[in-house]
Amino acid sequence: MSDSTDQPNPVRGDPTWVAPALTREEKTRNVGKTPVFFGPPLAILTDGQKNTMEISGKLNRTAERYLEIQRYHGLELNEPERQCIAHICNIGFMSPLEIRELPFEVRMTSFQYDGLDKEVLAQKLDAASFADLVVVVESLGF
């Protein structure tokens, strides 16, 4: 027997146990249950489903697909263009309709920034898909 005073490492279930840091790719394990408010979009998405495993699967599939959309969509914007869109989005929550109206809002805003050409930005936004616009708004934190 050892006279060592080393404490054993805590294990899962022990209140002092801390989960190891995971990379984004490693976050595939079950992390436990999380209460989620089902507002209208989630209620519509899971309409008619009662089994929590089916609902969980549907939410995770949808989130996985959304992450792929974010990975492959968006627009190349310079800093003045990003600042202009951030100014427009600064109202907070952006509904799908408000996101679709970004080109109109860019043309109408009184926002000014050195190097900003609002008409060029509006044309970029006009030519973009809805997925591209959503990714732009999300990338700015709105």
- Digit-coded pLDDT (tens) for 48-92: 988 888 998 999 999 999 999 999 999 999 999 999 999 999 877
Global pTM value: 0.72
Asked whether the predicted pLDDT for residue 141 surpasses 90, the reply is: no
**How confident is the model at residue 31, as a pLDDT?**
61
- Digit-coded pLDDT (tens) for 85-126: 999 998 778 999 999 999 999 999 999 999 999 999 999 999
**How confident is the model at residue 14, as a pLDDT?**
66
Contacts (Cβ under 8 Å, ≥6 apart) of 87: 109, 111
Structural domain boundaries in the chain: 40-72, 79-139
- One DSSP character per residue, 32-94 reads --------HHHHHHTTT---HHHHHHHHHHHHHHHHHHHHH------HHHHHHHHHHHTTS--
Which residue type does 16 have?
T
Angstrom distances, CA of residue 20 to CA of 14, 34, 56, 84? 14, 19, 24, 40
Q: The tokens 């408000």 sit on which residue?
A: 98
- Digit-coded pLDDT (tens) for 5-37: 566 676 666 666 666 666 666 665 556 677 888
